[in-house]
Structure 1
């Protein structure tokens, strides 16, 4: 059973637009594959500091598979939505992100090593025309890693 539902009932437009971003980061934190899949179009792309993963399967294998196994939390703030008009089916969400990463099972251990990061997100989202509930999903997630503090070995398994 998933800790997080993949859909929420009757979200107002702007909440529905930002919801795929929240679903995506919560899928990493909760190791929740159905939530991850609900957040991205199959042909989505993830641009991590210029290194681009093309397709949801590539994002899963290139990022989610590793990070979702860690003890992580991702916090978003300064969230803004650029919606061309109220009847638009595309929008861009920007946000600042703070992420804490610990090796699997070590998040609650005192004095354990971690990698903390600050990033800027710019995420193109669209309403899924195949979804009868009007679910919004990620088309392109651009992430600019601004700073890190701690042990990169947490991410690489070293």
Structure 2
């Protein structure tokens, strides 16, 4: 089942949160168009930082993260969402917690299979482009992990 790239009738705060949901669903479903819809049009300006390691540009984020995580069986969930948005503004900041479960492709439903769970905090800057909210900067700090770290190792 596919997910739409935009949902009508959302408030700005709901649409900002939905921007993050689109990116995370893009990871979980390995859906490149949905993933891309969450990010600014000037893709080279996009910045993703994970534990202070910076990835510049959406193409690099796709090749370094989505191409690896996308084929896995994953679920990314956010909670404790807080949004800083001034009335009428075209920019906003979102902060939240995230839990991300990772399993090798095709093994997610295997209760005894390898799994890797990561809890993180996200700080995300969004901008409004053409009526849609899009991610410009995403800072991720892993707080704790649990499980088999080999799940997250790229094949050599």
User: TM tier, shorter chain?
Assistant: over 0.9
What is the match of residue 26 of structure 1?
Answer: 25
- After superposition, the CA RMSD in angstroms is 1.1
Secondary structure of the equivalent of 1:65? helix
Cα deviation for residue 11 of structure 1 reads 1.2
2:61 is aligned to 59
Q: Which residue of 2 aligns with 1:87?
A: 88
- Residue 138 of structure 1: how far off its partner (Å): 0.3
Aligned match of 1:4: 3
Q: Say whether 1:102 aligns with 2:99.
A: no
Q: CA deviation at 1:156?
A: 1.4
Match of 1:75 among 74, 77, 88: 77
Alignment deviations for residues 35-87 of structure 1 (CA, whole Å, 9 cap, x no partner): 1100112121100000001011011011111111100001100000011x210
Residue correspondence of structure 1 range 124-143 to structure 2 within 5 A = 124-128=125-129, 131=130, 134-143=131-140
Give, in whole Å, the separation in 1 of the partners of 2:77 and 2:18.
14
Q: Kindly tell me the number of residue pairs found equivalent between the two proteins.
A: 152
Distance 1:102 1:28 in 2: 13
SS at match of 2:109: coil
Q: Please, which runs of 5 or more residues in structure 1 have no aligned partner?
A: none
Secondary structure of 1:23 counterpart? helix
Q: Which runs of 4+ in 1 moved over 2 A?
A: none
TM-score (norm 1): 0.93
Question: 2:117 is matched with which residue?
Answer: 116
State the shift of 1:157 in Å: 4.1
Q: Secondary structure at the match of 1:39?
A: coil
- Separation of aligned partners in 2, 1:157 and 1:44: 24
| Structure 1 residue 10 displacement after superposition | 2.3
